C-alpha cells in the first residue's frame, strides 16, 4: 500500500507541476496514469492536495438551479450515502459551470429551471459503486432502479465502471423543473434507471427530434427530453447514448484527469 501511495503522489506532484507551468490549477489530484487501488490511498492523496480553484459551487454559479444530490441521500441505486459526498452540494469546473449557466438562462425564458442530481463525483465514490456492484447479494434498491438487470451483469452491460466522466469535473446529471406546474418535467423515466428506456433514442430519433410511437414513452415525454438535450448541446455539452440526463462539456478543461477530493462546500 505504501508503494502504491508513493507512486500516486509522485505522479500527482509531477502532473501538478506541469499544470502550473501552463497557468492552470496546480491542485490536480488523480491522473489516468496513476495507480491507485484502495480508498485509503485516495484519502491519503486528498490530504496532500487541495481543491482546485477551477472548481465552483453550482448553487453560486447558477442560483436558479435546484439541487437534489442523490448520492448524498439514501435514495439511489446503492441505497446508502455514497463515499465522498460530505454535503448535499454540487461542484463543477468553472468552465463547465459557466456553460451550464448559459443553459439555465436559455431554459428560464422557456419556463424551466434546471434540477441537478449529480455533478463532480470523486473517484472514491466511483470505487464505492464498484464495491457495491461486486456484492451480488445486495438487491435492496433493485425494484426501484434495475428490476430487469441481473446484478452479475452490471459491469458487462456498462452500468458500472471503474472510471466516470463525472470525476473529471465537467459532467452533470440533470433534468427540468416546470415553473408553471411547480413539478419535475415528465421525462418518461427516472434518473439512474438501468435499462434501455433511459437511452435518448428510445422512442425517437434525437438527431431529427422525430418521435417513434411505442408503449413506454409518449410523444410529450420524448419531446421533453429533447428540450433538455437541445439546450445542453447548444451550449457546448455532449450527450451519451445510454442516459438522457447525462452531459459532458465538449471542451472540458481536464479531459485526462480524475479527481478525488470530497464533495463539500468550497
Residues belonging to the active site: 243
Contact 52, 65 (CB under 8 A): no
SS3 assignment, position 17: helix
What Rg do the C-alpha atoms of the chain give, in angstroms?
19
DSSP output for 142-181: HHHH-TTS-GGGTTTTTSS-S--GGGGT-EEEEEEEETTT
Task: Output b/e per residue, 66-79; b: 16+ Cβ within 10 A.
Answer: ebbbbbbeeebbbe
Dihedral sign for Cα atoms in the order 74, 78, 79, 84: negative
* Beta carbons of 89 and 55 less than 8 angstroms apart: no
Answer whether 242's CB lies under 8 Å from 227's CB. Answer: no
Distance CA 132, CA 145 (A): 14
The alpha carbon of residue 200 and the mean position of all alpha carbons in its chain are separated, in whole angstroms, by: 16
Q: Comparing C-alpha atoms, which of 192, 165, 163, 169 is closest to residue 68?
A: 192
Amino acid at each position: 500500500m505504501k508503494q502504491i501511495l508513493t507512486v500516486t503522489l509522485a505522479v500527482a506532484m509531477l502532473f501538478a507541476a506541469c499544470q502550473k507551468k501552463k497557468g492552470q490549477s496546480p491542485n490536480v489530484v488523480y491522473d489516468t496514469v496513476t495507480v491507485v487501488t484502495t480508498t485509503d490511498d485516495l484519502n491519503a492523496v486528498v490530504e496532500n492536495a487541495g481543491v482546485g480553484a477551477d472548481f465552483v459551487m453550482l448553487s453560486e454559479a447558477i442560483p436558479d438551479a435546484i439541487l437534489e444530490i442523490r448520492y448524498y441521500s439514501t435514495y439511489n441505486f446503492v441505497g446508502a450515502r455514497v463515499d465522498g459526498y460530505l454535503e448535499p452540494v454540487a461542484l463543477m469546473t468553472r468552465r463547465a459551470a459557466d456553460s451550464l449557466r448559459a443553459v439555465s438562462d436559455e431554459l428560464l425564458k422557456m419556463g424551466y429551471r434546471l434540477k441537478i442530481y449529480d455533478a463532480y463525483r470523486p473517484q472514491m465514490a466511483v470505487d464505492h459503486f464498484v464495491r457495491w456492484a461486486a456484492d451480488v447479494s445486495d438487491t435492496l434498491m433493485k425494484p426501484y432502479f434495475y428490476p430487469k438487470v441481473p446484478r452479475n451483469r452490471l459491469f458487462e452491460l456498462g452500468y458500472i465502471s471503474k472510471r466516470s466522466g463525472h470525476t473529471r469535473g465537467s459532467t452533470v446529471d440533470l433534468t427540468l423543473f416546470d415553473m408553471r406546474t411547480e413539478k419535475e418535467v415528465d421525462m418518461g423515466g427516472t434518473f439512474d434507471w438501468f435499462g434501455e428506456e433511459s437511452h435518448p433514442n428510445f422512442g425517437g430519433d434525437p438527431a431529427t427530434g422525430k418521435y417513434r410511437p411505442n408503449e413506454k414513452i409518449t410523444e410529450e415525454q420524448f419531446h421533453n427530453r429533447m428540450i433538455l438535450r437541445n439546450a445542453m448541446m447548444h451550449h457546448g455539452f455532449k450527450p451519451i447514448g445510454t442516459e438522457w440526463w447525462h452531459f459532458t462539456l465538449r471542451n472540458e478543461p481536464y479531459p485526462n484527469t480524475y479527481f478525488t477530493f470530497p464533495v463539500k462546500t468550497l
